[in-house]
Structure 1
Amino acid sequence: MIRARSSLRHRLVAAAVVGLVAVALTGCSATNEITTAKAYSASDGLRAELGDVTAENLLVLTSAKGAPAALQGAVTNRGTDAVTVSLTAGAVKIGTVRVAAATTVLLGGDTGKTLTFTATDPPGAVTPLTLETGAGGSLTLSVPVLDGTLPAYATLVPTPSPAAS
């Protein structure tokens, strides 16, 4: 009988220890925000939210200040109505993008909508980019300007058009 009580006592102590360890380990997620649940910029570009519109991985590719530049990224409409997003680099309107409800429009790359303009900042700098929607208002970001040094961007940097003869 004494052995049974001792064995039961050890089991109760072991169960209590396991319970305390479980509570201690789960306490980390109860008191700290789970970082992977937060939206973030997963690549070189910036992420922005403007009403129902989310812009992902926004960046500008150019070879130099004053050279042709191309906007890269994606625009997603999480709303139930189509939306038009106006994009302005500095004081120059570079284009508009119509995004249907619950869809994404790619910008640049090999298959996305082409938005080109003249670079006002050199690679390595940031340039102001304003996104504007009717319902969501407007938002200005400092978007990174990159060149073709990274292999993923090498073929996406726009080249100057040959001068007319």
Structure 2
Amino acid sequence: MKARLAASVALALGIALGGSGCAMITYQATTEAYDPSDGVSADVGALDVRNILVISEDGEEGNLILAVVNTGDDDATLEIEFVDSGDSYEIDVEAGQTISLGTEDEEPLLIEGLDAEVGGNVDVYLQSGSAEGVQVSVPVLDGGLPEYADLVP
């Protein structure tokens, strides 16, 4: 009788582990952070920069699109430098504030002298205060997609 009970417990335990054990060792893709849009993202100190991309018709002039979230308790300035051209821009972001640039509702940040290939990437260096800067490779897209057609400079 004891052997039969032990066998039943072992069988039940085997079924429970077999039915759920693979979830314990299987790779979980939902734990990976990724950019769900065409742009790229970066974190610079207390600033979270999201969905960075450039919309351009000819690669010479572009509309920089991005969102900046200041997760810190102090105001911060995001410095954006286009590596190849050396052009730089600054965006002031108050503590707890989110700023979006280049969308239909917001003023565009026009980049002149972009010198990038549409469909390629342009290197951008992001810096905020004394935090370590980050260089990202930002996609340059045209207005071929309907969601970008109105954003071409």
Q: What TM-score do you get using the length of structure 2 for normalisation?
A: 0.84
Structure 2 equivalent of residue 140 of structure 1: 135
SS of equivalent residue, structure 2 residue 25: helix
Equivalent-residue separation in structure 2 for 1:9 and 1:52 (angstroms) = 57
SS at match of 1:137: coil
Moved more, 18-27 or 146-155: 18-27
SS at match of 2:133: strand
In the comparison of the two structures, how many residue pairs are matched? 150
Unaligned runs of 5+ in 1: 159-165
Task: Name the residue aligned to 1:18.
Answer: 15
| 3-state secondary structure, aligned to 1:101 | coil
TM value normalised by structure 1: 0.79
Q: Which digits, 9 at most, give the CA deviation of each residue in 1:91-139, with x for residues without a partner?
A: 112x321112223211111123421012211211211212121121322
Kept after mapping to 1: 8 A contact 2:76/2:93: yes
Sort the Cα spacing of 1:24 and 1:146 in 2 relative to 1 into closer, same or farther, 3 A: same
Aligned counterparts of 1:41 and 1:113: Cα–Cα separation in 2 = 23
Cα distance in 1 for residues equivalent to 2:53 and 2:24: 39
CA-atom RMSD in angstroms = 2.3
Q: For the residues of structure 2 that align with 1:113 and 1:79, how far apart are their CA atoms? A: 24
Give the distance between the partners of 2:6 and 2:126, measured in 1 at CA: 67
Q: Quick check: which has more Rg, 1 or 2? A: 1
Percent identical residues = 29
Letter in 1 for 2:132: G
